[in-house]
Structure 1
Amino acid sequence: MMQVRTFLVGLACAYCAVVGAKSIAADQRSNQASAGFKSDIAPFLSTHCMRCHGADAQKGDRRFDWLDGSIADENVLVDYQDILDQLNLGEMPPADEKQPSDTSRRRVIQWLTRRIEMHHQMRSTAHGVTALRRLNAREYSNTVRDLLHLNMQMFDPTATFPKDETVEHLDNNGEALVTSGYLLSRYLTAADQVVQRAIGPIDQPKPQTWTFRSGFRQQPEIDQVHRKTNKFSHMTLYDVIGADKHEGAYGPIDQFRDGVPIDGFYEIKIKAEAVNRFHPYDDEFLGTDRAEPLRLGIRPGNRRVGKLHLPQPIEPLLAEIELADEQKWYTTRVWLDKGFTPRFTFRNGLMDARSLWTKLIKKYPDQFPDNIANGIVAKRFNAIQHGKLPQIRLHEIEIRGPLFSQWPTRSQRELLGKDLENAASGADLQTDKLREHLVRFMTRAYRRPVKSDELDRVLTLIKSRKSGGRNSLQAFGDGIKAVLCSPSFLYLDEGERKTLSNHALASRLAYFLWSSMPDQRLTDLAESGELADNGTLRREVDRLLNAPQSDAMIHGFLDSWLTLRDLGAAPPDRGIFREYYQYDLVTAMRTESQLFARHLIDQDLSLVNFIDSNFSFANKRLAMMYGIDAPPGPDFQRVLFDDDRRGGLLGQASVLTVSANGIDTSPVVRGVWVLENFLGTPPSPPPPDVEPLDPDTRNAKTIREQLQKHRKIASCNDCHRKIDPLGFALENYDPIGRWRTHYRRTPIDASGKLPDGQSFDDIVGLKALLMQRQRPFAKSLTEKLLAYAMGRSVTANDRPDVEQILNRVESSDWGFRELIHQIVQSDSFHQK
């Protein structure tokens, strides 16, 4: 015993000696840093920084006169990091202040870099901590879908959830994802809906057939004409669904208004034709293209939600068919939820037919009877009766279903397997059977092995419900609802240690790249411990990125990084931007950015393409808006640019539209957007006592003159010298991203000067300057993507990981896919 005690004492002494030596070395380095601060850094700050960031003034809420070379807390670390970043960017000192020599600037940058690295090395806790993070709305829906194999096209269990709050535009930041009493009640309702859909009918429904050959009423305004012209013998579509006052945009089946009786796949046969594709009118007048086949779309509708001939909140495009210019039969298969009915639409149809009736007769009077009475009723009748407008006619419709490829359904088998029929028949399921099914389900739902006490609680609940009169199936369903309302399902369990467990790592990876739960392969690798191997992890990242589910990451990240979730929130003026609505450009804009990011990932192309590139993706109408050769057909294709105005994100219509207000453009709004989202250097908020544009600037003739006067206010100049040049560079793009050279009669001046004094003439020149700043842009993108991946904000303590990621990605020519790999391999990603 004495020998053991002596050994432990000796071990303790040796440990103390090592720690003491490290402490002495750290103190020596700290003393050296303090000496360097006094001799080199303090004089530099005094000469170049204190006038704006000293005792008398604190621009941007930054004060540096109390810095002494030490880093006592997070606030001081942030101050040093800000100084270093501004010096590296060349934005400080401002161009109108006394400039340091290159030697002096490099010496300060080197000292700051070493001092910050030393601080991180000395810290025992090197990373931020992810707040307890619940699933956001889209993650919840995706997880429910994958857990129970549900079709979610028409079902949104989060429809009544409170809107998720965001931090730096990220909707998956744990700090903002709070839980309220109201949300808990919504979870209960959602769980009930989910379980009902998963269990569904026990007996396989027999397919039914509904046939419609006449009685095609559509909407009152159109019906009064069709009653006379065709006696409702066929359905006729005129408008696109983007029209303002719809007439013939949606073709519901009036006799089938109550919809299908049960969820499932339904086969729809349609006898249809394209009519008047080769019409006698000017294509530009109608906004159509006779070279395109007319395209029929199918969207769901629910009369309990609203009128079937008008837009509804949930109406995904279920199918699209190109029609021949003669009557033919077409067959398609679509999913329909109970109560939903198919509605037919004209994908490339007319725009605002209500106003077109009158315009048509006025433009082509020789093609219509003389003395047509005034009023919309008479004009509509004559335009339909005598006109030759492009239209789609449906003569017969047959619906058959529901059709199931397997029974019981995959959802039912996921819950009870072969015991479903026994439970449904009233047979009592034994505890060992219940336990077997629950272990499998709860392990998947909790994304880790289920604990015995968790399992026992659900079993006790099921037994209690059975003793209260519920049959085995009903009681089991109540147990599943309890699982779906459990914190272990609603929150990401990251374990008790600082480093993520294997299962927590699998979840973080899956929610990063798929916005959903881990699949079975990922779970198996976590269980075996193989996921901890860097090679295995890299292969899994590639597998997940190559799967179609990774579109969820692209959509979710672009919605946050580029604020694309706000695209369409400020719709432009219908009179000025007609094509935006007729050709559904908002969808095309979003699709372009998503396909662009997808291509960079798939090909591991340089993320510098986000700054500038000679290619993008467009469909015919978006390409026409860009003034480039339009690809044939309605699909998106890779397109090349002959000039430099369109390349990169700053030339994409999605970015240019989301950074406008729908009515006009603002250099300030767009400049702030570029600083905040594209460059990751958001300006400070304006002082509370200064209006966005001071009243004294109202006599200025142009927005540039207004802002020049505004910048004469000392408290405004510091931010606007960063904001305004970036915004003016984008002024050649109108509110939906079309190129322009004038504001009505006034020529646009898109020139500017960056804070470091470099000038440019237009967006092409600005992008050339940004291409010289590839690393700062890459740093901004890395920090945003890392925050999205971890579910928390990036802090100053993550800076070593960020720098390491940047160094490795830079050596791979800034490959975007490689950036994702390096984020997943980083210490920050593997820790809470």
Structure 2
Amino acid sequence: MRSRSLLAFLVVVALGSATSVGAEKHLAELDQSKAFLTAHCVSCHGNEKSKGDHNFETFSDKEWNDRELLNDLLTVLREKEMPPKKAEKKPSAKEVAAFEKLLAKQYLAIKSTLPGVLTRLNRAEYENTINDAFFTKLEVKNHLPVDNTRDGFDNEGDKLVMSPYAMDSYFRVASGIAEKVVGGMPGPSTTVHSYYNGKVRRLGSKGFARYEHTNDGVTVEGFRYHDLSTIGFKYAVIWPGYYDVKINGHFTFYDASIDHKERDLNFKVALGKENERLSITTNVDPKISREALSAQEFLLSDKVRVYLEPGQNLVLNSHSYFYPLPKDLSKLTRIPPFPRDDKLAKLPKTNLHLISAEVTGPFYDSWPPKNDFYKTYYEDLKGDDPHEKCQQFIKKLAVKLFRRPVSDSELKRFFDVAKKRYETDENVLDAVQAALTMMLCSPKFLYKVEGDSLNLDDYAIASRLSYFLWNSLPDDRLIKLASEGKLKDSSVRSAEALRML
């Protein structure tokens, strides 16, 4: 008993001594800092004059523990803004370096005692993360609340708050994403775009009057009324798959000998099928790139089938000059360029008058489709038991979305939700969809979880690297290095940063 009392006494003395020494050192550093400020700063920041509302004659323990003030002092010293060049008594470089060292040490000491900030994904990071995880090009950030900013930055943890209104928005977006990404085979539906050509002209330079009209999600443009016209379909593709497109309209003919700069004359004539030449292309996003991903030609009287991913648009081109059609309309081929020939100018030209466009789909040869998402998360699932396959599917998604291994207790919540959904229609993909909605609303997905320790683990390092350089989640290589514990090695981090850049 006496030995225990003695041990307790020694611990108290040791702690008291340590506290005493720490306090003395703290006061010494405060006095040194105050001496520097008194010698070089109080002439402009003192009792008589306090520029920037800073009075360093009263600099005390309160100011010494003001993290924002210390940060301001460090900034002006490192930027060499203070002391000013015109100061009568300037400190030596050695004195400035010593003062900076004191400030930096105190700043870091204060920072280490502050509670950590749990940083939410901002809207751009959220959109990039789901698109990189699911191999999609979904535009979702405009459906989420606008992020608060500080000094123009929208990734400050303490500014990225979560309110009940925001959580409701995130839930609705998560439900929509899960529905688009995974689930049972959707049935085809038909969307009809109707168009009235009102000959709306947007004036430009002489000879280049531009016709433009938008009606019911269809935009038609051409440099002249009889020129090649491009028709863009503002068709919101929800499901990836094949879509049938049927164009309803007629062609007109004009005589090249008429001066069309003065007036436009169009004559409706009965043309043969070979002159009803159209081509259709798919573009991911015309704002980013106008390069056609695929193209095929067909006749006005035909129905054409194209493959579309979410985020893709349809673009229809009608060509003024006659050009031979390929025999096989089912293959996606690039359109050869028109020959540069003066004789073409003398040939009859045609122009499409669009009445309506019907888009029907999606259609599938099999389900699930063989896209990158299902190849990555579904194809190599083992076993025949639907519950086992469902759990394997969910675990793969959880590890990807949470950017780190997921415990069995965490996974159980998602398994239970999926099991309950499976009992309603016995569809594994619909069950995964329910679990995915829940995952996308989880704090482990919405926030950059870095653990309780000040020392980051490898998975936190992987996320910091990827969100700093890519604004998105870590790729498979970063996660593999994290699982092997290699990202704490500075040489490995440097090599990965160069690879990512």
Q: Same-fold call, TM > 0.5? A: yes
- TM-score, structure 1 as length reference: 0.41
Structure 1 residue matching 2:491: 3-state secondary structure: helix
Over the aligned positions, Cα root-mean-square deviation in angstroms equals 5.5
Deviations 1:299-354, CA, capped at 9 Å, x for gaps? 869xxxxxxxxxxxx75455347xxxxxxxxxxx98554895325699xxxxxxxx
1:478 maps to 2:431: no
Secondary structure of residue in 2 paired with 1:319: coil
- 1:74 — aligned with what? 67
Q: Does 1:433 align with 2:425?
A: no
1:62 maps to a residue whose letter is H
Q: 2:197 corresponds to which residue?
A: 219
**Shift of residue 488, structure 1, vs aligned partner:** 0.8
- Does the 8 Å contact 1:458/1:479 carry over to 2? yes
Query: Residue in 1 aligned with 2:299?
Result: none
Q: Matched residue of 2:315: which SS?
A: strand
Give the Å deviation of 1:12. Answer: 5.6
In structure 2, do the counterparts of structure 1 residues 119 and 259 end up closer, same or farther at CA, with 3 Å as the change threshold?
A: closer
CA apart distance, 1:500: 1.5
1:528 Cα deviation after fit: 1.2
Structure 1 or 2: larger helix share? 1
In 2, Cα distance between the equivalents of 1:490 and 1:266? 34
1:173 is the counterpart of 2:156: yes
Contact 1:297 1:319 survives alignment (8 Å): no
| Counterpart for residue 640 of structure 1 | none
Shift of 1:447: 0.8
Q: Distance in 1 between matches of 2:180 and 2:383?
A: 17
Q: Is the 8 Å Cα contact of residues 483 and 489 (structure 1) preserved in structure 2?
A: yes
Aligned partners of 1:65, 1:530: CA distance in 2, in Å? 50
Q: Distance in 2 between matches of 1:419 and 1:240?
A: 51
Aligned pairs for 1:649-688 within 5 A: none
Q: Tell me, in whole angstroms, the C-alpha distance in 1 between the residues paired with 2:396 and 2:378.
A: 10
Alignment partner, residue 186 of structure 1: 169
Largest Rg, 1 or 2: 2
1:502 is aligned to 2:478: no
| Kept in 1: contact 2:184–2:429 (CA 8 A) | no
Aligned to 1:106: 91
Q: CA deviation at 1:501?
A: 1.6
Equivalence for 2:340: none
- 1:298 and 1:163 map into 2 onto residues whose CA distance is 34
Correspondent of 2:399 among 422, 433, 443: 443
Residue in structure 1 matching 2:240, options 251, 254, 263: 263
Contact 1:158 1:190 in 2 (8 A): no
CA shift in 2, pair 1:184/1:85, >3 Å: same
Q: Is the 8 Å Cα contact of residues 300 and 336 (structure 1) preserved in structure 2?
A: no
- Decide whether aligned partners of structure 1 residues 64 and 10 sit closer, same or farther in structure 2, where only a CA change above 3 A counts: closer
Q: 1:410 and 2:372 equivalent?
A: yes
**What does 1:753-832 correspond to in 2, within 5 Å?**
none
The alignment status of 1:133 with 2:110, answered yes or no, reads: no
Give the secondary-structure state (helix, strand or coil) at the position aligned to 1:530: coil
Amino acid at match of 2:53: D
Question: Residues 621-671 of structure 1, C-alpha deviation per residue, up to 9 Å, x if partnerless?
Answer: xxxxxxxxxxxxxxxxxxxxxxxxxxxxxxxxxxxxxxxxxxxxxxxxxxx
Letter in 1 for 2:38: A
Q: Which residue of 2 aligns with 1:613?
A: none
Residue 261 of structure 1, CA deviation: 9.4
Q: In 2 relative to 1, CA 456–140 (structure 1 residues): closer, same or farther, beyond 3 Å?
A: same
- Post-superposition Cα deviations, 1:737-786, rounded to whole Å, max 9, x if no partner, equal xxxxxxxxxxxxxxxxxxxxxxxxxxxxxxxxxxxxxxxxxxxxxxxxxx
Specify whether residues 59 and 299 from structure 1 end up closer, same or farther in structure 2 by C-alpha distance, changes over 3 A only: farther
Gaps of 5+ in 1: 94-98, 206-215, 224-235, 269-275, 282-295, 302-313, 322-332, 347-386, 423-427, 546-832
Contact 2:318 2:351 in 1 (8 A): no
Q: Residues 343, 141 of structure 1: CA spacing in aligned structure 2 closer, same or farther, 3 A cutoff?
A: farther
Check whether the contact 2:281–2:316 (CA below 8 A) recurs between aligned residues.
yes
Q: Distance in 2 between matches of 1:237 and 1:262?
A: 38
Q: Deviations over 1:670-719 (max 9, x none)?
A: xxxxxxxxxxxxxxxxxxxxxxxxxxxxxxxxxxxxxxxxxxxxxxxxxx
Distance 1:421 1:249 in 2: 57
> Could you tell me whether the CA contact under 8 Å between 2:128 and 2:472 is conserved in 1?
yes
Asked if 1:26 corresponds to 2:4, the answer is no
Instruction: Please tell me whether the aligned partners of residues 120 and 126 of structure 1 are also in contact (alpha carbons under 8 angstroms).
Output: no
The CA deviation string for residues 559-613 of structure 1, in whole angstroms up to 9 with x for no partner, is xxxxxxxxxxxxxxxxxxxxxxxxxxxxxxxxxxxxxxxxxxxxxxxxxxxxxxx
Whole-Å separation in 1 of the counterparts to 2:428 and 2:450: 34
Residues 133 and 174, structure 1, Cα contact 8 Å, conserved in 2: yes
Equivalent residue number for residue 115 of structure 1: 99
Q: State the aligned residue count.
A: 410
How far residue 136 of structure 1 moved from its aligned partner, in angstroms, is 1.1
Specify the alignment match of 2:267 in structure 1.
none
> 2:41 matched to 1:45?
yes
After TM superposition, the score normalised by the length of structure 2 is: 0.64
d(CA) in 2 for partners of 1:28, 1:64: 16
1:502-534 CA distance string (max 9 Å, x none): 111111111111111111111111111111111
Give the distance between the partners of 1:90 and 1:27, measured in 2 at CA. 24
**Distance in structure 2 (CA, Å) of the matches to 1:156 and 1:82:** 39
- The one-letter amino acid paired with 1:146 is D
2:479 to 523, 529, 544: 523
User: In the TM superposition, what is the alpha-carbon distance from 1:297 to its structure 2 partner?
Assistant: 11
Paired residue for 1:365?
A: none
- 2:315 alignment counterpart: 342
Change (3 A) 1:201 1:341: farther
CA contact (8 A) 1:218 1:252 kept: no
Provide the rounded CA distance (Å) in 2 between the counterparts of 1:75 and 1:258. 51
User: Secondary structure at the residue paired with 2:487?
Assistant: helix
2:449 is equivalent to residue 462 of structure 1: no
Identity %: 24
Over residues 56-77 of structure 1, what are the superposed CA-to-partner deviations in whole Å (9 max), with x where a residue is unaligned?
Answer: 6544333333126982432552
Q: Check the 8 A contact 1:299/1:319 in 2, yes or no.
A: no
User: Which structure shows the bigger proportion of residues in strand conformation?
Assistant: 2
Structure 2 residue identity aligned to 1:542 = L
